[in-house]
């Protein structure tokens, strides 16, 4: 079915008038290219075929697949394991957001309320929309699929003999008794105190224990230990601090544990700082049928534009940024700077970006004003701006941009603007509002898709470059 002419008229006229207002000497189709995404509606839906042509960053290529995606063989899937519904994904996502806000409040922040590349692929079924990489642990090395999380510090995996409870995972669990490099941390060691930076620690006899719990209720408890971490044949780290889980439960969807990429001394960037200088980057793919990468160290491309880390979050595991503005259809929105005063956390584990109610309201209103020729429909879970595209072959949607401190402008990839929750009958604006303007905003992984996102801890900055997965 051809797209009705009336469906693009208001938006095209608006963009043309806006171009003339700003003095842009452009044709209507040129304005359309500048401020619109023209997409086939079927491209919004998940695919069932694996894109084997996906590219990774460089050097090391370790295949990583979505636990429930099209690139994994049926022999590796758990019998009866189903991907969570969209409602479950958003419920878990809100739990994670609430957990982040609670952790920040508990710290008194807001009392008013040699490059190594590990390919990654979308893991929407793992936790709340997280992503996974494969690393080696032990001597001899055994490979484990771990969720990587910029909002967590401690790395852990399920271990034998699993004295309490363990969930099903893709690979066999780590068996410390068969590894010549495994060592428990003593309670008298100063290293034992590091565990408190992520969760809580206690002791069993003279052995240090760790305990971590996540926003969705998932948890891991076990021995705090050291082990050999292998990222490639030339990138091997002895005495890597990690958790050997003996009581684990939650929504990890077959992943063997978690790889912590937070900011404290216990996190991977700090433990490998001599090699990688606290520098890592990733690109999250546009869909679950494609692959991205996680890179550690390496050179920073000149195309990366950096914004400074916010000092307000220095005492937390989180990477804090400052959003200074939003744009829709190429036009900057009139939002008072106070709407961004609570700061922003960039988080690989949060699915949908959360904005202050004031900022989100302006974004949603501007988006709706440019989408009036498409039929709107009822909201869904955390979404309130949704459309029915079931009678269209193509749609034209306004571009959405985010500006960070230092004038760093980021045009959200088209895959990060809309989220289909019920086929094409309900496709929603992929942003949501916090409860209050005093709540920290969170820049989620859907909005980070296809960008190279660079974390430079040594220089206190985070950068973005488009086209990062290709």
CA distance 215 to 91: 11
CA angle in degrees (0–180, nearest 5) for 100-415-262: 30
Specify the residue for token string 């980021």: 410
Please tell me whether the peptide bond between 161 and the residue prior to it is cis, using omega within 30 degrees of 0: yes
Return the structure tokens found at 438: 């005093």
SS3 category, 54: coil
Q: Which residues contact 53 (CB under 8 A, 6 or more apart)?
A: none
Please spell the DSSP secondary structure of 84-122, one letter per residue.
PPHHHHHHHHHHHHHHHHHHHHHTTS-TT---EEEEEEE
Q: Which of 149, 153, 322, 439 is catalytic?
A: 149
- Alpha carbon of residue 358 to chain centroid: 24
Q: Which of 347, 411, 413, 437 is catalytic?
A: 347
- Dihedral of the alpha carbons of 185, 190, 191, 193, in degrees to the nearest 10: 110
Closest CA to 154 of 235, 58, 69, 267: 267
How many other CB atoms sit within 10 Å of the CB of residue 409?
Answer: 15
How many other CB atoms sit within 10 Å of the CB of residue 427?
Answer: 28
For the chain, state the CA radius of gyration: 23
Per the annotation, the verdict on 149 as an active-site residue is yes
Closest CA to 341 of 356, 363, 328: 356
Strands 219-232 and 235-249: antiparallel
CA distance 82 to 245: 24
Closest CA to 251 of 444, 43, 93: 93
Per the annotation, the verdict on 336 as an active-site residue is no
Q: Is 150:120 a contact under the CB 8 Å cutoff?
A: no
Cβ burial, residue 269 (10 Å; 0-12/13-18/19+): buried
Report, as residue numbers or ranges, the catalytic residues: 149, 347
């Amino acid at each position: 079915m051809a797209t009705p002419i009336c469906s693009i008229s208001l938006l095209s006229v608006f963009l043309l008038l806006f171009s003339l207002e700003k003095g842009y000497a452009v044709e209507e189709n040129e304005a359309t290219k500048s401020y619109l995404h023209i997409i086939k509606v079927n491209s919004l839906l998940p695919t069932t075929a694996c894109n084997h042509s996906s590219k990774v960053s460089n050097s090391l290529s370790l295949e990583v697949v979505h636990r429930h995606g099209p690139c994994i063989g049926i022999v590796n899937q758990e019998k009866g394991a189903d991907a969570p519904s969209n409602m479950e994904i958003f419920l878990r996502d809100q739990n994670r957001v609430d957990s982040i806000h609670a952790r920040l409040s508990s710290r008194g922040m807001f009392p008013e309320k040699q490059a190594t590349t590990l390919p990654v692929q979308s893991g929407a079924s793992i936790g709340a929309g997280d992503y996974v990489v494969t690393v080696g642990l032990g001597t001899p090395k055994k490979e484990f699929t771990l969720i990587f999380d910029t909002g967590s510090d401690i790395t852990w995996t399920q271990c034998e003999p699993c004295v309490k409870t363990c969930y099903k995972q893709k690979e066999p669990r780590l068996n410390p008794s068969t590894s010549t490099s495994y060592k428990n941390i003593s309670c008298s060691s100063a290293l034992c105190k590091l565990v408190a930076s992520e969760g809580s620690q206690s002791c069993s006899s003279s052995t240090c224990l760790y305990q971590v719990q996540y926003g969705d209720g998932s948890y891991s408890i076990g021995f705090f230990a050291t082990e050999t971490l292998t990222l490639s044949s030339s990138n091997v780290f002895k005495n890597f601090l990690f958790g050997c889980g003996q009581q684990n439960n939650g929504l990890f969807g077959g992943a063997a544990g978690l790889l912590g990429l937070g900011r404290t001394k216990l996190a991977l960037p700090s433990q490998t700082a001599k090699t990688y200088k606290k520098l890592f980057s990733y690109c999250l793919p546009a869909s679950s049928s494609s692959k991205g990468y996680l890179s550690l160290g390496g050179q920073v491309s000149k195309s990366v534009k950096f914004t400074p880390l916010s000092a307000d979050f220095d005492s937390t595991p989180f990477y804090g940024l400052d959003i200074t503005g939003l744009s829709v259809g190429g036009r900057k929105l009139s939002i008072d700077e106070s709407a961004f005063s609570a700061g922003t956390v960039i988080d690989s584990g949060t699915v949908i970006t959360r904005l202050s109610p004031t900022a989100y309201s302006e974004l949603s209103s501007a988006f709706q004003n440019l989408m009036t020729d498409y039929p709107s429909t009822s909201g869904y879970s955390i979404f309130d701006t949704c459309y029915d595209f079931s009678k269209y072959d193509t749609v034209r949607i306004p571009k959405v941009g985010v500006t960070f401190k230092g004038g760093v402008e980021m045009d959200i990839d088209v895959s990060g603007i809309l989220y289909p929750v019920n086929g094409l009958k309900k496709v929603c604006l992929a942003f949501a509002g916090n409860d209050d303007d005093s709540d920290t905003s969170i820049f989620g992984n859907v909005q980070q898709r296809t960008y190279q996102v660079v974390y430079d801890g040594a220089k206190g900055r985070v950068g973005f470059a488009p086209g990062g997965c290709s």
